[in-house]
Amino acid sequence: MERPGPSEVTGSDASGPDPQLAVTMGFTGFGKKARTFDLEAMFEQTRRTAVERSRKTLEAREKEEEMNREKELRRQNEDIEPTSSGSNVVRDCSKSSSRDTSSSESEESSGSSDDELIGPPLPLQMMKEPGNHIEEDIVGPLPPPFYEDAEDDDDDDDDGDSEEEENPVQKIPDSHEITLKHGTKTVSALGLDPSGARLVTGGYDYDVKFWDFAGMDASFKAFRSLQPCECHQIKSLQYSNTGDMILVVSGSSQAKVIDRDGFEVMECIKGDQYIVDMANTKGHTAMLHTGSWHPKIKGEFMTCSNDATVRTWEVENPRKQRSVFKPRTVQGKKVIPTTCTYSRDGNLIAAACQNGSIQIWDRNLIVHPKFHYKQAHDPGTDTSCVTFSYDGNVLASRGGDDTLKLWDIRQFNKPLFSASGLPTMFPMTDCCFSPDDKLVVTGTSVQRGCGSGKLVFFERRTFQRVYEIDITDASVVRCLWHPKLNQIMVGTGNGLAKVYYDPNKSQRGAKLCVVKTQRKAKQAETLTQDYIITPHALPMFREPRQRSTRKQLEKDRLDPLKSHKPEPPVAGPGRGGRVGTHGGTLSSYIVKNIALDKTDDSNPREAILRHAKAAEDNPYWVSPAYSKTQPKTMFAQVESDDEETKNEPEWKKRKI
């Protein structure tokens, strides 16, 4: 069927239901029915085309593989030469079997020999091996001689590679480091939010500083510093599981919760210190040691104090604690907890006490501990940290007796491993697990000028000391290994916070601020005048509001007064009405010039007569005025002092 021409289309449009509409609109084809598309048919056609192309590609690939296989078989047949009768027998058997198969299909179906071989003949060495039988069917090309040894070697290489991959030391991100200057005193608290965007540090100088990795440049400066607990040392800082709040534990008896920007959210109430039973008070009555957020429940946290209690709190109810846990000795006496933490699922609460014991409670059962080990560390020493592994089965404790121990909470009767020779001099020296749970990390303390503090790594499976990093010439107090960033944060005793990372193994964090160059302050911006807001001033005296610094600089450049270059100081006696640098007043200027005047004016007469000849030859000032009355200049005779004394009367002489 032929497609109508343009004239025919126009005629069909004109003969439509409303022919005048096309003339009115000014174009032809108005009112023509739109073309419809069958989407299902289009999809089906596309699918068929794709299937056909895939089939052709697969067939071409199979043909190519078959040709390569035939070439490989032909090459192997050419390489293998018959060197014994056994190989000739095999070859004759293969030839006879091939003749039998090509004779007729009926003979094959009736009963062909099970001993026929498909493919090239066996090598001579494989024929001699007792384990290889010719009667077995062999499909495909034969392996080369000594193939078993080659496979064994490959297995050994794979085992070596797997061992290298399983080596946890290679995963330690310590190739690069940055140093954050917190202050001059010990950094006793570190906290990193779950996303790894912000780091918060606290120290013995009462300051809490906020560091934003995305906003920092190479100068590594904190964007905020505050003292949330006034004159109390900061002992613990921790972000909540949502990252919007920070728990601040100081030397006071009241813990605080601040938001990401440092503004106070809540403050725990102080208990009544005159009540004997600490369970009847609403809060702590003595100095705090540490605190921890619940890993699952938002707004719940825990603190331990010198009042021999461990208390849980809720952010919505700062006027009273949620529950009270009271550690006790075997005899039932009070004992002070020095550190506490939640398990990974939040169902257990662990606390280490001053008598060397570790006690673990069920979160909902506050009466008796679920696990109690009496002599986990030496009595009288402050166990500075207890932490759970990521799988929740192992507990690590950092003791004040210079040891680090691992415990299995499923068999809490003896430690799994123990490492000694780890000196500590701070009550908040902590330990942590690596993100893959294969390493345990802790820091060591040193006396000032007696070496360097180290970050020591132990393998969890064998508890061997596999690696260590020299941090600085001071003690290593805090350590934190973030699982998302794969970066290690360290707080030291000389006021530094160091971040260790690896460009290939780590993510974000310190990598964001290292690549940014340090921004230099522009001098023009520092000289810009501050804008003074005067809302009640008259409009004629009100300054125009500054829209931007750039526009204000452009205006100041056009102003001749503001853009006037300051004149340099005057050197010498001064010029242009300006006094020299020797003095700022007229009197000082005159005194200075008089003192420096080198002309001899001791005899004014001689000084005037020095110019007498020039005045007589060229009279200009005085001589013309006396030309008529005194044509010849006459000067008065000056007598000496002796002559004046002689001519004086007698009474004057006697008076003198």
Render pLDDT for 532-557 as a digit per residue (tens, 0 to 9): 778 888 888 877 766 667 777 788 88
H/E element, 234? strand 234-239
Least confident of 51-65, 255-269, 400-414, 609-623: 609-623
- 15 φ, ψ (degrees, to nearest 5): -90, 15
Over 70: is that where the pLDDT of 365 sits? yes
Predicted pLDDT of residue 527: 47
Distances (CA, A) of 65 to 51, 71, 141, 489, 513: 21, 10, 14, 56, 53
H/E element, 613? helix 612-617
pLDDT digits (tens, 9 = 90+) for 468-511: 999 999 999 999 999 999 999 999 999 999 999 999 989 888 88
SS3 244: coil
Over 50: is that where the pLDDT of 92 sits? no
Predicted pLDDT of residue 547: 62
In angstroms, the CA 36 to CA 34 distance is 6
Cα angle: 135, vertex 137, 138; to 5 degrees = 120
Over 90: is that where the pLDDT of 270 sits? yes
In angstroms, the CA 190 to CA 167 distance is 28
In angstroms, the CA 385 to CA 397 distance is 6
600 pLDDT band, cuts 50/70/90, is low
CB 291 within 8 A of CB 277: no
In angstroms, the CA 89 to CA 404 distance is 73
pTM of the model: 0.58
In angstroms, the CA 181 to CA 222 distance is 9
Amino acid at 639: E
Predicted pLDDT of residue 623: 73
| Burial of 513 from C-beta contacts in 10 A (0-12 / 13-18 / 19+) | buried
Distances (CA, A) of 129 to 93, 122, 146, 337, 443: 19, 11, 11, 73, 61
432 pLDDT band, cuts 50/70/90, is very high
Over 50: is that where the pLDDT of 93 sits? no
pLDDT digits (tens, 9 = 90+) for 154-189: 455 555 444 445 788 888 998 999 999 999 999 999
Predicted pLDDT of residue 559: 85
Mean predicted confidence (pLDDT) in 227-237? 92
DSSP 300-361: EEEEEETTS-EEEEETTBTTS-SEEE--B-TTS-B--EEEEEE-TTSSEEEEEETTS-EEEE
202 pLDDT band, cuts 50/70/90, is very high
| Burial of 117 from C-beta contacts in 10 A (0-12 / 13-18 / 19+) | buried
| Burial of 615 from C-beta contacts in 10 A (0-12 / 13-18 / 19+) | middle
For 401, half-sphere exposure in the C-beta direction (CA atoms, 13 angstrom radius) is: 18
Cα Rg, the chain, nearest whole Å: 50
pLDDT digits (tens, 9 = 90+) for 611-636: 878 877 887 777 777 778 877 777 67
pLDDT digits (tens, 9 = 90+) for 271-329: 998 988 888 899 999 999 999 999 999 999 999 999 999 999 999 988 899 999 999 99
pLDDT digits (tens, 9 = 90+) for 380-423: 888 999 999 999 899 999 999 999 999 999 888 889 999 999 99
Predicted pLDDT of residue 108: 40
The better pLDDT of the pair 136, 435 is held by: 435
116 pLDDT band, cuts 50/70/90, is very low
Predicted pLDDT of residue 336: 93
Predicted pLDDT of residue 581: 57
